[in-house]
Structure 1
Amino acid sequence: MNDFSMLTDIAIADAYGAAFEYVRDSKFYIRNDLKRYYKHPTHNIKPGCYTDDTQMSIAIARLMLSNDIWTKRTLAHYFLDTFRLDPREGYAKNFYNFLKSTKTADEFVSNIKPVSVKAGAAMRSGVIGLYSEIDKVIEYATLNAKLTHDTKTGINSSIAAALMVHYFVHAKGSVSGLLHFLNNCVSMKCTDTWQGFVGADGMDAVNAAITAIVSSDSLSEVLRKCVDFRGDTDTVAAIAIASATNCSEIKHDLPQKLYDKLEDGPFGRKYLRELDSKLSAFIV
């Protein structure tokens, strides 16, 4: 699949959505026009730069492309190593400081307090959905959550976000069947009727992403709807686009300018395209 662009599209959604994250000023949303990347009114992240959603997805992709066995320790290693290669803002303050101060994977596993119900596990689990075996998707998405978000919400949102990708990548059904598929696999109820502000809860982010996908015909429409919800816009957008970009029913129409203006440093768009090329081998 030469046109496989999942990580690149996640980065675009993340970088675009980051400008609107938890912005309360209604007037600011007039910028939700997909014409360019915007600067967040208070954050220091430069327009076109992705955040933790993408970087942690990259870490999981690197693990998938390695010969390493999936364990909490190996996953922690890739999170730490990927961050050290390219330290960047966008993480929650406490977790950012944790990554900076943690020296080894063993130290990560020993010292992390995995009690969060937030969307941190779900935001990065989409790439796990590339595995062809659904049992493996669920197993690895669960392990992903247990490392940092070992709660019912954390685990189920991670599984759901991975299965959303799996459903479309491996042609399990149409857009209209997505919700039924998820509710047969996930122990917490998924919905496609989300309305309004999206807080930090993992399942809320997943449900907003599902709603954007099933009510849209194009990636541009999905992305704009994710931002229009408001709240945790970059995470909802990353989860939704990870899935929608693999759906044959959804038009791939993200503006070329968003591709062209996506960051292009050592771990920017060229690097992401290289990872996408390697990840395409997971698609049979």
Structure 2
Amino acid sequence: MGVKHGISLPPFGELSDPVVVADLAVRAEQAGWDGVFVWDHVMRPADETEVIGSPTVSLAAIAQATSRVRFGAMVTPITRRRPQVFARETVSLDRLSGGRLIVGLGLGVDRGGELSAFGEVDEPREMGRRLDAGVEFLLGAWSGEYFSREEEPFAHGEVRFLPTPFQQPHPPIWFAARGTGKPVRRAARFGQGLDLIGLDRDGVDEAAAIVREHRGSLDGFDFVCPVDPGSDGAQWADSPVTWCMHEFASPPDVALVERVVADGPG
């Protein structure tokens, strides 16, 4: 079916307004783009921006304004989210959109102090443990069945979450990975895709080999790689890459975003 093309928007500055983001998503859908995604941050360095929008509200606006494009946050660090609230939000977004949500998850970063400034855990090993526990919580919550999670800090005792997502058994999960270590193995175990950051062709091929080893095949698994805005993604031809993500810098140049969106993918 060919490589898909998505745009990745930092919801900062003018793009902090969900009305603006929704309008761009509508134009992207009309121009033939396959997906519209937003960053998930609560703080950035002051010299970059202090005007930051809610990714959840922007995603709801996208879901309501469009009918075809996939969408999601790339990526949500679950260590600074309440998984029980996040489970409810993702189900609502998936149902609101008729099953178009993709859930992006990762460790997160402390750039701008968005973890440490609020007393959140910022030690990588503990962040990884919380990510694993959070994913297991989400899978249990999305199932609609009673489940129990005793591991701190997420849930105690048996709980059940209803309604279930529109997509069954659940929305696709894409995990962010900057290398070919544990994040790739985590994605192979729990996920349906990898948002590969900063990897060259050899790195992508290595990640694909790890996924194939763990899953037996690459069927139904997405490899997402960044490209310059407006690129045709030719550097990923004949590779495992299934999505080219057109990444815009922060703070975003809104005029550039509008031109790239209007020109369409590739």
Normalised TM-score (structure 2):
0.37
> Quick check: which one's strand share is greater?
2
**Largest Rg, 1 or 2:** 2
- TM-score, normalised relative to structure 1: 0.35
The structure showing larger relative contact order (alpha-carbon pairs under 8 Å, at least 6 residues apart) is: 1
